[in-house]
């Protein structure tokens, strides 16, 4: 797998995640310094957003856009993962009012490796590629976008179309009446 960084082909390390496959569990660091696990089966739909660095204009803009769009989605867990240092991310979250999504740090690059997003060379070595994953409550990846060129933004509309479908989906099963008539 690879992306381009300012037009230069750049390989990614880690296992490629495919739509329809299981979302791996990945360890990340929360802003209070504690470790947590994201991915896999969860009580709500998960939106995982890989951000190369909040210190860049495109990444900062993307974080703000996602934060605004998810504020009203109460049954969605939105996690923005970056490889920036913890203190910077804490300051950024406070300064920019990031409160609709949770910002976390991929300190050990566990998320990057498990999701196939670790940039392996160049000036962005050990950073995340820009990507978005939507994971249903069963732990399956239902949407993935790995942005081919690092300086481009994700397709917000396509991502949120899938999110809204999942959030509006009614679980099917048998009703009490149907069960009684069998």
> What are φ and ψ of residue 143, in 5° steps?
-155, 140
48 beta partners = 79, 133
Q: Which member of 3, 28, 38, 59 is catalytic?
A: 59
Q: Rounded distance, CA 114 to CA 171, Å?
A: 29
Q: What is the dihedral sign for C-alpha 94, 96, 101, 106?
A: negative
Q: Which helix (H) or strand (E) holds 158?
A: helix 156-168
What whole-number distance in Å separates Cα of residue 93 and Cα of residue 36? 18
Say whether 59 is catalytic: yes
The phi and psi torsions of 35 (rounded to 5 degrees) equal: -90, 150
Known catalytic residues?
59
């Amino acid at each position: 797998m690879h992306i381009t960084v300012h037009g230069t082909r750049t390989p990614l390390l880690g296992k490629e995640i495919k739509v329809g496959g299981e979302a791996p569990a990945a360890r990340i660091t929360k802003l209070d310094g504690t470790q947590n696990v994201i991915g896999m089966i969860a009580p709500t739909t998960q939106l995982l957003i890989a951000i190369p660095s909040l210190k860049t204009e495109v990444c900062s803009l993307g974080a703000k856009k996602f934060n605004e769009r998810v504020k009203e989605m109460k049954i969605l867990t939105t996690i923005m993962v970056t490889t920036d240092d913890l203190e910077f991310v804490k300051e950024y979250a406070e300064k920019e009012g990031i409160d609709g999504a949770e910002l976390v740090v991929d300190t050990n690059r566990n998320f990057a490796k498990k999701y196939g997003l670790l940039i392996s060379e160049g000036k962005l070595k050990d950073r995340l590629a820009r990507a978005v994953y939507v994971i249903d409550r069963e732990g399956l990846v239902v949407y993935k976008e790995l942005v081919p060129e690092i300086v481009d933004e994700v397709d917000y509309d396509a991502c949120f179309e899938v999110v809204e479908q999942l959030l509006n989906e009614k679980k099917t099963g048998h009703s009490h009446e149907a069960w009684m008539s069998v």
